[in-house]
Amino acid sequence: MHFLDQAKIFIRSGAGGPGAVSFRREKFIEYGGPDGGEGGKGGDIVFEAVPGLNTLIDFRYTQHFRAPRGKGGAGSNMTGAGGKDLVIKVPVGTQILADDEERTLLADLIEEGQRIVFLKGGDGGRGNASYKSSTNRAPRQHGTGWPSEEMYVWLRLKLLADVGLVGLPNAGKSTFINAVTNAQAKVGAYAFTTLRPQLGVVSHRGREFVVADIPGLIEGAAEGAGIGDRFLGHIERCQVLLHLVDANDEDVATSYRIVRDELDAYGEGLAGKPAVLALNKIDMLDDELIAALSAELEAASGKKVYPLSAAGEIGLEPVLDALLERISAEHVEDDGPGEPIEWSPI
């Protein structure tokens, strides 16, 4: 399945149905009077966050969504049928943005089962029976129904994960997520092997948490260098970051600072998130060199450094323990997801 995290769509609610102009025609009733019923209400546009989706690829092929309009009223004071609501199912973590220069945030669906009535259908028009008065005994006017609402919106997906992996290209992020989760990320001996975010579930010490791997950052990513920083949005909601540094880099301290500078330039609070720092690919180094590189990295970062080898599955347990300690208890799944909730904007 292809990954798509942004899509522009057109949405329109249903218009209200017209009211009816009708008069009673019954035997032995001389003055039947008006009995035109009201039109039906148009369908709403509803967004719902559902599990099992992690891409917006469906919206590349279906980009127009129109709810049906209400049916017209009828005689005998019969109200027209209402238009059925159109429910648009999106992945959990989808944001709905206005189609303007600022891409104003309109809604954020972060809970499974969350529903929002985004555009309301028009009310049905009045039938002529409702216009009857002491001075207007046989009204022939009726309402045509309230119009629909329509607009273009952008959908933007921000994956929900507890841990986000960051680092330079070839830092071993894909190898790490393959080693500790059920993911099958592509691994290669060249830069930018990862071209789209990957999710995996870690089972550690009787608990589970989700890890997100994004394409590697290079110097100038905030200005669009390499793949740029467009995928950093997928780790904005992470509880903690795991920063991997390749032990084979010429200067591990410089490698660390490049990524931290790009996180700071991106903003959105990423630079201030709790982080675990790990020195990866130590399986081909001796203990003395590992200690020296770890000390250099600690001096540059001020953080404890965890030596590991994702490929050799060395040192994974201490890193997972450190991540688990930093993840809030309410964000760690013990008994599976809770019950879906109903939600609507104020």
User: Which residue ranges are tagged as binding site?
Assistant: 167-174, 192-196, 213-216, 280-283, 309-311
- Annotated binding-site residues for Mg(2+) read 174, 194
Beta strands per DSSP E along the chain: 6-12, 45-50, 64-66, 86-91, 94-98, 105-109, 115-119, 150-157, 163-166, 198-204, 207-213, 240-246, 275-280, 305-307
CA distance 274 to 326: 7
Query: What residue type is 294 in one-letter code?
Result: S
* Whether the Cβ atoms of residue 165 and residue 214 lie closer than 8 Å to each other: yes
Degrees, nearest 5: CA angle 211-51-334: 55
**15 CB contacts (<8 Å, ≥6 apart)?**
42, 69, 70, 121, 122, 145, 146, 147, 148
| Strands 240-246, 163-166: pairing kind | parallel
Give the position of tokens 């599976």. Answer: 336
* Whether the Cβ atoms of residue 74 and residue 24 lie closer than 8 Å to each other: no
Tell me the Ramachandran region of residue 101: left when phi exceeds 0, alpha when psi lies from -120 to 50, beta otherwise: alpha
- Annotated binding-site residues for GTP read 167-174, 192-196, 213-216, 280-283, 309-311
